[in-house]
Amino acid sequence: MSTFSACSCSCWVMFLSLFSYVNFVSSAVFEVGGKDGWTIPKKSVAGVYNQWASDNRFRVNDIIHFTYDKDSVMEVDEEGYEKCRSTQPLFYSNNGDTSFTLDRPGLFYFISGVSGHCERGQKMIIKVLEPQSPPPSMSHNSTTTTTTTSGAADASVAVNYGPVIFAVSMFFVLLPI
């Protein structure tokens, strides 16, 4: 039975060690327009989609989900957005249930593909944030500067549990059986 325990412990340690060095990419799914979906905005709500987009923080690999009836969604360039038309959209869908992955940082421009809808406010600009890079490692002679900006705070925090998991797993391996 002790051979089984030692073997199990060794496998556990290898698994945890591997797990500790794997980076996970998470993404969020955003429902465009909330419960109303992708529709022509009411006259009293100008810029509703840009307001919705500015209320959210989008990161690379997040997904925006469009729900609509008898309509379409197009990703266009800035000119297509401003003119509310595009003969060569970067992306087009009209199936009523469209998911779009934000695959890079920067601006994404979306308009309805149905004539007249964009002019009535069915358009949106989404800004995808640059990926966060890990902080530089500190040496004994380095100084740290912290910059604080006003506005909405980013509540996400990256934590590397790899070294902790490795240390705990090594503790269990070294325990007498």
Measured from the Cβ of residue 80, the count of other Cβ atoms closer than 10 Å reads 21
Per-residue pLDDT, 65: 97
Q: Which amino acid is at 121?
A: G
Q: How many CB atoms lie within 10 A of CB 169?
A: 19
How do residues 1-14 score in pLDDT, each as one tens digit?
555 455 555 555 45
Q: Which residues pair with 108 in a beta bridge?
A: 126
Model confidence, pTM: 0.63
> Tell me, what's the pLDDT at 135?
60
Quote the pLDDT of residue 8: 57
Q: Is it the case that residue 119 has pLDDT exceeding 90? A: yes
Q: Which domains does the chain have, with CATH numbers?
A: 24-132 (2.60.40.420)
Cα diameter, the chain: 75
What is the distance between the alpha carbons of residues 177 and 160, in angstroms, rounded to a whole number?
30
**DSSP H stretches of helix in the chain:** 2-20, 48-54, 78-83, 162-174
Give which of 141, 142, 81, 145 is closest to 113, Cα–Cα: 81
What confidence score (pLDDT) does residue 162 get?
Answer: 54
Q: Which pLDDT value is given to residue 97?
A: 96
Q: If you ran DSSP here, which 8-state letter would residue 118 be given?
A: G
pLDDT tens string 42-68 = 876 778 999 999 999 999 999 999 999
Q: How confident is the model at residue 89 (pLDDT cuts 50, 70, 90)?
A: very high
